[in-house]
Amino acid sequence: MSGTVRSKHARKGTGQGPGPEGGGATPPAPGRPAVRARRPAGKRFLESRAADWVLPLILVAIIVAVWQAVCSSGAVEEYVLPAPGDVVRKMFGDFGTFADQSVPTIVAIFAGFALAVVVALPIAVAMVYSGVARRAIYPLLIIAQVVPKVAIAPLFIIWFGFGQLPKVLMVALICFFPVVIDSLVGFRAARPESLMLVRSMGASRWQAFWKIRWPWALPSIFAGVKVGITLAVVGAVVAEFVGADKGLGVLLITARGDMDSLTVFASIAWLTVIGFVLFVLVEVLERVLLPGKRGGRSHEASGSL
């Protein structure tokens, strides 16, 4: 009898008694909420917004460290691959030169990008409301996109001469396609039942556009704008390669002709910084105009919802 009692107490002490999954766990009392298991710190960090910045910085630091190690080992000549430290010193050592050459490039980027957005949005609206316009314009958009822009750039020089105008047009041409396509997708994604509801309440077509289609399309429009702003840097450099008298592209191609790899890498670094800053500005504008659109991003990406 005493052995039986001791065996029962032993089973209770070791958690081998009856319970969920045979573990002897005591179920929560009625009316008391169950305590959720705390997620590991590493998973919480990966789901935080800080990881969006820390992880890329770590990867960049690794790449730069490997780059510096390769250059310091003497495995490659300096004129082939300059060390990252030398590139940074060149960027800020000749800050006045690079800043002066950056001004016409940045002006062309902003002007061409603004022109692309101003033209793309009305065309996207026209294609949404008119099937004839969509069938007539869409094939031309595809043709304009597949034509190599480098082949068109010399024509702009012939037609408009040297200066800012051909650069602005080249930037607009390269930025135009992603903006108009994403805008078209966004405008067409509005829910038909929402449109029918506001129309049944007496709203005009334009009122339905501003109340339903425009807010619904803004995330897609910003997606196209973010792609376009990065391509704008490419368009400005392509135009300056073909024909310009001033700009970072001109500085880059001149340094390439002089076999000045250090200036080439410094010019590329300046262009990278400009493109990154412009992308971040668009990202900030999106978060200001569309608050809450990115909430739950981390949970959805990790599959925890």
pLDDT band for 48, please (50, 70, 90 cuts).
Answer: low
Q: DSSP states of 78-135 as a string?
A: TTTS--HHHHHHHHHHTHHHHHHHHHHHHHHHHHHHHHHHHHHHHHHHHHHH-HHHHH
- Which domains, from first to last, does the chain contain? 107-294 (1.10.3720.10)
pLDDT at 55 over 90: no
Two tokens at 263? 């200036």
H/E stretch holding 3 = helix 2-14
User: Out of 107-116, 150-159, 245-254, 264-273, which region has the weakest mean confidence (pLDDT)?
Assistant: 150-159
Residue with tokens 């409301």: 129
Residues 182-208: what's their mean pLDDT?
Answer: 80
pLDDT band for 166, please (50, 70, 90 cuts).
Answer: confident
Q: Which of 104, 29, 121 is nearest to 271 (CA)?
A: 104
| In contact, 183 and 121? CB cutoff 8 Å | yes
**Sign of the CA dihedral with 128 first, then 133, 138, and 140 last:** negative
CA distances (Å), origin 127, targets 29, 44, 193: 62, 44, 20
